[in-house]
């Protein structure tokens, strides 16, 4: 993908990954990425459709079941539901990404960029992200990780945003501190969802809503 290519060009630590456009791509993706791995839809939110897979048979079964699940989803009043009679619009199903499995603690890194300078960076913990779907269990802001790990995650997040060509705005970055050091999961060119903006305002006084205007 463009994002992963940007990280490679900037020589930032990345993860093995392969795009899956159809079931025919599963074998080659598995061979390149290896197992365990994580299958995730390119489109979506809140870990919807994200699942750990342990071998090729598992990958095929999860791909088929997740694809079927997605084809049945529609978007109604801001939520995904099944077989709704009155939908705002159908969910636009896309491709999948198979990514290398990462061990370690998952975090979010929220960033405010101004003219290429990170004026605010805050790492916060997601709590144990329960496998196989990696659902977050709680959030702690600021992070309780050791200082040196927080600093490494901040550097990776900011440099990843810059490597992708972003210089202005609010960014919600997901990452892990693994047994091999910090690794990026994804960069979202937007403020974090849910209660994230309220947590920052309460804990640090920074209003991400104002910052993204």
pLDDT digits (tens, 9 = 90+) for 110-123: 999 999 999 999 99
Local confidence band at 185 (pLDDT 50, 70, 90 cut-offs): very high
pTM equals 0.86
Q: Where are the domains of the chain?
A: 15-99, 102-211
The first and second tokens of residue 38, run together, are: 């994580």
pLDDT over 70 percentage in the chain: 87
The CATH number that domain 102-211 falls under is 3.30.470.20
Structure tokens, 90: 């159908």
Q: What is the mean pLDDT of residues 26-44?
A: 93
For residues 191 and 212, what is the distance between their CA atoms, to the nearest angstrom?
8
Q: What is the mean pLDDT of residues 163-187?
A: 96
CATH topology of domain 15-99: Dna Ligase; domain 1 (3.30.1490)
The candidate with the shortest Cα–Cα distance to 12, out of 175, 210, 198, 204, is 175
């Amino acid at each position: 993908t463009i994002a992963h290519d940007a990280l490679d060009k900037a020589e930032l630590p990345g993860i093995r990954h392969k795009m899956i456009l159809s079931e025919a791509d599963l074998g080659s993706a598995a061979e390149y990425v290896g197992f365990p791995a994580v299958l995730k839809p390119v489109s979506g939110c809140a870990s919807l459709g994200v699942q750990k897979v342990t071998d090729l048979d598992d990958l095929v079964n999860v791909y088929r079941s997740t694809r079927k699940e997605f084809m049945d989803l529609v978007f109604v009043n801001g939520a995904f539901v099944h077989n709704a009679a009155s939908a705002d619009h159908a969910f636009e199903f896309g491709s999948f990404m198979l990514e290398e499995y990462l061990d370690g603690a998952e975090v979010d890194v929220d960033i405010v960029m101004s003219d290429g300078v990170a004026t605010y960076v805050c790492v916060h913990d997601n709590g144990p992200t329960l496998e196989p779907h990696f659902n977050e269990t709680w959030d702690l802001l600021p992070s309780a990780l050791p200082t040196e790990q927080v600093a490494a995650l901040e550097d990776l997040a900011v440099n990843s945003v810059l490597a992708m060509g972003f210089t202005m705005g609010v960014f919600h970055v997901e990452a892990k501190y693994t047994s091999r050091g910090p690794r990026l999961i994804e960069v979202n060119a937007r403020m974090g969802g849910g209660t994230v903006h309220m947590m920052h305002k309460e804990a640090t006084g920074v209003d991400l809503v104002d910052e993204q205007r």
